[in-house]
Amino acid sequence: MERVCVYGSGNWGTTAAKIIGENITKLPNFDHKVSIYSHFETFDGVSLSDVINKTHENPKYLPGRKLPENVYATSDEKEALDGATMLVIVVPEQFLESSLRSIYKNIDGRRLKIISLIKGVYIYKDKIMTPTQVIEYALKVTPSVLCGANIANEIAGHEICESTLGSFIKSEADLWYSLFHSDYFRIRCIRDTYGIELCGALKNVVSVAAGIADGLGVGSNSKAAILRVGFKEMRQFIYHRHPYTPPEVFYESCGMADLVASSLGGRNHKIAVELVKTGKSFAELESEMLGGQKLQGPMTAKELYIFNKHEGITEKFPLFTTVYQIGYEKKDPSEIFNVLVGLKLE
């Protein structure tokens, strides 16, 4: 009997629990109860997990969307993980390592089937690690990943969309597919994780570039050209790091679709528009618009620049480099269009 725990009660974690809760009652060999581990916090002075269980709604992170009655939340991590065989990890990337240490202490040596719904990568001066690699190192399992053009509020409202499920273990991919796939949330599987996760991180940098273009007030042609270069650099960088990435990664929801959705109005795009219009720094705008929360686009642009500089390849990625320079070195935003160059027939 499989038992599912969703580790994280934010916007996307709560939506994931909603999807699974709706699907799991139709599946044999599954415990129909779905637990959500909710880090202790309050809403109107009451424990958020208690509010979720009483109202069947997460008013803090997914207001107005009812959860199935078979979904319950707890801030007791051991209780949430008790008996779990399948674990959905949905925490901010900066909390992943500490979460994994805590998970390890509470699973009593059990080998869990794990899927990551985390977007982001860990870029150091001389190496890059994805969330599934961090999970694999900490828990000695081979995780799957779910990533795509997935705006949680729209999915929770049953608006049709796709997502990419990456896995190397077919039996586990089949189980995750059965938990997530529905008439409104269409899942497509690929035998990959690294390329999928890199797409999810790099598209944030390109969406900043798209926001810079929109902040300058240019038309669709100019913005489309920026997106073309950004998509090209995403593919080029991923193949530089992982030559065996399946080509379909770039044309599934985790690739092109996620890039388009993020560049039409995601938070990275919006903050870049304001960067151009106000002349303020990313840090100032994050403080004003997001209460100090760090966005992945600006952060990834900076980390990527440091990595590429160490590798001596900044010139191969002019758009990535220019986004960093505009955001952190006060380069004129209009120089984003210098990445558009002519090409003669050879």
The residue type at 281: S
Check the annotation: does 140 bind a ligand. no
Q: Which residues are catalytic?
A: 203
- Is 186 among the annotated ligand-binding positions? no
Chain length of the chain: 346
| Residue 319 main-chain phi, psi, to 5 deg | -70, -45
Question: What letter does residue 134 receive in the DSSP assignment?
Answer: H
User: Is 267 known to sit in a ligand binding site?
Assistant: yes
138 is in an annotated binding site: no
Please check if 312 is assigned to a binding site: no
CB-CB contact of 177 with 188 (8 Å): no
Q: Is 9 annotated as a binding residue?
A: yes
**68 phi, psi to nearest 5 deg:** -60, 150
23 is in an annotated binding site: no
12 is in an annotated binding site: yes
Alpha-carbon distance of 229 to 206, in angstroms, equals 9
Is residue 176 a known part of a binding site?
no
Does residue 268 have a known ligand-binding role? yes
Cα(254)–Cα(148) distance, integer angstroms? 4
Name the region of 292 (left: φ>0; alpha: ψ -120 to 50; beta: rest). left
- Say how far apart CA 231 and CA 218 lie, in whole Å: 19
Instruction: Identify the DSSP state of 336.
Output: G
Place of tokens 């530089």: 240
Strand blocks (E) in the chain: 2-7, 30-37, 42-43, 46-47, 57-58, 62-66, 71-74, 86-89, 113-116, 122-123, 128-129, 144-147, 161-166, 185-190
Q: Cα-atom radius of gyration of the chain, to the nearest Å?
A: 20
- Round to whole Å and give the CA distance between 59 and 7: 18
Say whether 166 counts as a known binding-site residue.
no
- Torsional class of 217: left (φ above 0), alpha (ψ -120 to 50), beta (otherwise): left
Tokens at 300, concatenated: 């990834």
- 236 is annotated as contributing to ligand binding: no
Is residue 43 a known part of a binding site? no
Q: Residue positions in the annotated binding site for NAD(+)?
A: 8-13, 95, 152, 267, 294, 296
- Give the residue numbers of the binding site for substrate: 119, 267-268
Task: Indicate the annotated binding residues.
Answer: 8-13, 95, 119, 152, 267-268, 294, 296
